[in-house]
A and B are shown apart, each in its own frame.
Chain A
Amino acid sequence: MNEMLPRAAIRAARTNLVWLALPLLAFGVAVAWILSTDPLSGFRNGAPPVENLTFERTVFDEGGLRLLVRAGGSEPMTVAQVQVDDAYWQFTQDPPGPIARGRAAWLKLPFPWMLGEAHAVKVVTSTGATFAHDIAVAVPTPQATTGQMRLQAMVGIIVGIVPVAVGLMFYPVLRDVGREGMAFLLSLTIGLLGFLLVDAGAEALELASETAAIFQGPVMVVLAALSSFLLLMAIGRRSGAPAGVALSTYIALGIGLHNLGEGLAIGAAFAAGSAGLGTFLVLGFALHNVTEGIGIAAPILKKRPSLWTFVGLTLLAGGPAVIGMWLGSLAASAQWSALALAVGAGAILQVIVEVGAYLRRQSERGRDVFLTPPVLAGLAAGAAFMYVTAALVKI
């Protein structure tokens, strides 16, 4: 093949290669210079290294208290002593030794914690810096037993799957709505999704603020939301704008990711021993989620899909609540919860865009459809219903 190319073309390719290599080479030289001559030493003023410690998990069990801490110092940090309630306690560290930047370690204390009481942990590093962690209520951390998992699955089903199913049961009634009723239902979906978008975004950012600095929480949340939005848009538009069952599926997926986040929140609240998290709260979540079923049903009112489609949509939208419960109560650190919520927010945004586009296509008024009374009423009703029912579940 090369023989076929004119000499000039080969030369041009070589020149290009040089121009590609040159900046990389220059950068390599700069890195080597910084590493070898340490020009930053002039800035060193004898100040102790910057230290940062994030408490990611707290576990109470019959062995005492365990804490997962992540180091975010400019240099490896050494946990020297641990105070609980203004007293020093013996502890073991796993893995032992200094904790490198970005790495996590378990601190294990044979601390006789008191059920239902508050405890204050203070980690003292070798430089004498302290990092405090307040535990509002000490309760045994749920174990990954089959019984616990089953119980949590039950709660997840009540919170996620049942309401979606109930919403979808309105399907026969909804089928008789006219054009205006349809517009109302679709905008109701957009309204409720709009609420979920704001809610998930805010929740993700709040969780992000609790994560170790190295994860750059807020940036991670925004980037994860944007990329999941773009990815789902790209997938959804492969064969034109989604409609019918496809659109319902995307709505169900977006809501499902939101319910994953909701499950995480409930699971984490259980794990943290939120005493107020009772039957009332679970029912509040369930009521809050009924609208989601109506939203999923809206695009398929004229399609008469099979029963299995409904089952699939219900599981897609509600099932993740169960998984979220398990993750939230057993393993999740703040950064993973924030990431899941951010992905959910991106997915919800994609669904809003697609439902909006669908609504526009359904109407001969084009863009102006968003200014018609049924649509404005639907948007307001969707957001308002979610807002009011959310008040039931705010802890």
Chain B
Amino acid sequence: MEKQTRQDLLRRRSLLMGGLAAAGGTAICTSVAMGQQPANHAGHGAQAIADAADPMPSMGHGAMMTVGDVDSAANGFDPTDMLTDWDTGTVSTLPDGRTLRTFEMTAEDREIEIAPGIKFPAWTYNGRVPGPALRAKEGERLRIVFRNYASHPHSIHFHGIHAARMDGVPGAGMVDPGDEFIYEFDAKPFGCHLYHCHAMPLRRHIHKGMYGAFVIDPDPERHPEHADVARSRLLGTPENTGWQELVMVMNAFDTNFDAENEFYAVNTVAHAFMKRPIRIVKGKPVRIYLINVIEFDPINSFHLHANFFDYYDQGTTLTPTLKTVDLITQCQAQRGILEFTFAEHEPGLYMFHPHQTEFTELGWVGMFDVVEALA
């Protein structure tokens, strides 16, 4: 039975995916063929495909994909888990009755595996790249306790509204190694934001991995005209649980320091979502918090196969800023919210990737695996 579904999956693949997809998906070599990698972890999607794949694919398709698998356990983070891993901090009530939300953040030097077999000497927030995906509600008081355990001065510069003293630029919240700083401000405006280190040289600190998602959910009471929409965005409401929410940070890595990226990804690991497609339940709408922090390339983009989506630029509106598009572009630090559904689609694998083909072929490409229901 298990075998059957695998073969079905494979057959669907070859039907659905043209050129590139077929190249990547169907032709993953067996673990013997995995160059440097030790045997794959059993049970993963990639291994399942590998079991059935022709070890010597025909020349028309090739095998356009990184070889092997990243050791997520050693890394301490997994790109798939990161999709839904929100850091909501700890909550308490201030004397005036407002909510105080406190986040703990550290800076650490850490060698991470960004693609199979490739070690990158990263600078991290909380030991991961991207850093934790912070999530708060509009109007809350936010307190971020930042401790620097790394070897260089670092900061957190939040995209949002705050005092100059809290800006995370030199002279305002720059933290020397061993020191601590507490950033404090109100959560506004609602939207899909980001944070990143603002130490100099800025480019180095960002491409080394010091960035993350920062989402402020709208408060439905402040937006009576679109209260339903606001509730669907507010984490934890019944309306919100009807959605499948994913946070995707588009990033890239320059491993040889030539100011060009060798690897492109969402959530750090090249080809992660080709090897393990993202499960999507057909009936539930999808909302992606998409952030571009790619360094060295001026523009990144997101293209969805066989579907169209509504787009909320910066996420600061409750009505779409673009309706029914299948491609959006983002400059560095640009971000937005994508909403779409596969409700009318047949189950299967649907690709997403930037429409800069170079980025795609260097690792930033993935699949949605649309299923009837979660098993």
Could you tell me which A residues sit within 8 Å of B by CB distance? Answer: 62-64, 78-83, 86-93, 96-97, 109-112, 124, 126-130
Contact = CB atoms under 8 A, between A and B. Distances in A.
A55 to B, nearest CB: 17
A110 B63 CA distance: 7
Contact of B256 (A63, A96, A129): A129
Given A81-B66, A88-B66, A96-B36, A130 B271 contact: no
11 contacts: A79-B35, A80-B67, A81-B115, A82-B67, A88-B363, A89-B62, A90-B66, A112-B59, A124-B115, A127-B255, A129-B256
A86 B45 CA distance: 26
A130 B256 contact: yes
A89 B65 contact: yes
Interface stretch (B116-124, B139-147, B214-222, B312-320): B116-124
Nearest to B360: A87
A87 B256 contact: no
Contact of B117 (A87, A92, A126): A126
A64 B59 contact: yes
B252 interface: no
Nearest to A112: B59
Contact of A110 (B35, B59, B262): B59
Contacts of A81: 66-67, 115-118
A73 B64 CA distance: 28
Contacts of A128: 118-120, 253, 255-256, 262
A129 B64 CA distance: 20
Interface stretch (B4-12, B25-33, B84-92): B25-33
B298 interface: no
Interface residues of B, number: 36
A90 B33 contact: yes
A82 B115 CA distance: 12
B150 to A, nearest CB: 14
B36 A88 contact: no
A97 B34 CA distance: 11
Contacts of A63: 56
Candidate in A80, A97, A127, A129 with the most chain B CB atoms within 10 angstroms: A80
Contacts of B295: none
Given A96-B36, A126-B119, A90 B63 contact: yes
Given A88-B270, A92-B29, A128-B119, A83 B362 contact: yes
Contacts of B224: none
Contacts of B256: 124, 128-130
B178 interface: no
Given A110-B62, A112-B62, A129 B117 contact: no
- Of the candidates A64, A92, A110, A127, the one having the most CB atoms from chain B within 10 angstroms of its own CB is A110
B358 A86 contact: yes
Given A97-B36, A112-B59, A80 B116 contact: yes
Contact of B119 (A90, A96, A110, A127): A127
Nearest to A126: B117
B57 to A, nearest CB: 5
Contacts of A127: 119, 255
A93 B63 CA distance: 15
Contacts of A62: 59
Contacts, number: 101
A87 B362 CA distance: 5
Contacts of B167: none
Interface in B237-270: 253, 255-256, 258, 262, 270
A78 B37 CA distance: 10
Q: What 7 A-B pairs come out closest when comparing CB atoms?
A: A128-B255, A80-B117, A87-B361, A90-B63, A112-B59, A88-B66, A130-B256
A82 B234 CA distance: 44
Contacts of B32: 92
Given A83-B362, A86-B358, A128-B255, A111 B62 contact: yes
A86 B361 contact: yes
A90 B29 contact: yes
A96 B65 CA distance: 18
B236 interface: no
Contacts of A130: 255-256, 258, 262
A96 B31 CA distance: 12
B64 to A, nearest CB: 5
B255 A88 contact: no
Given A87-B361, A88-B270, A112-B59, A124 B255 contact: yes
B60 interface: yes
A89 B240 CA distance: 40
Contacts of A79: 35-36
A81 B70 CA distance: 12
A83 B65 CA distance: 9
A60 to B, nearest CB: 11
A129 B255 contact: yes
A80 B271 CA distance: 14
Given A128-B262, A130-B262, A88 B120 contact: no
A92 B27 CA distance: 13
A80 B362 contact: no
Interface string B83-117: 00000000000000000000000000000000111
Contacts of B35: 79-80, 90-93, 96
Nearest to A128: B255
B36 A89 contact: no
A82 B65 CA distance: 9
A69 to B, nearest CB: 12
Contacts of B66: 81, 88, 90
Nearest to A113: B59
A81 B113 CA distance: 13
B67 A91 contact: yes
Contacts of A96: 35-36
Contacts of A91: 35, 67
Nearest to B66: A88
A310 to B, nearest CB: 52
A62 B60 CA distance: 11
A89 B32 CA distance: 16
Given A96-B35, A129-B256, A130-B255, A88 B117 contact: no
Given A88-B271, A126-B36, 5 more contacts: A81-B116, A88-B363, A110-B62, A111-B62, A112-B61
Contacts of B115: 80-81, 124
B64 A124 contact: no
Given A86-B362, A88-B65, A126 B271 contact: no
B56 A110 contact: yes
B62 A88 contact: no
Given A86-B362, A89-B63, A110-B62, A124 B262 contact: yes
B188 to A, nearest CB: 40
Contacts of A78: 36, 117
Contact of A90 (B27, B60, B362): B27
B67 A87 contact: no
Contacts of B271: 88
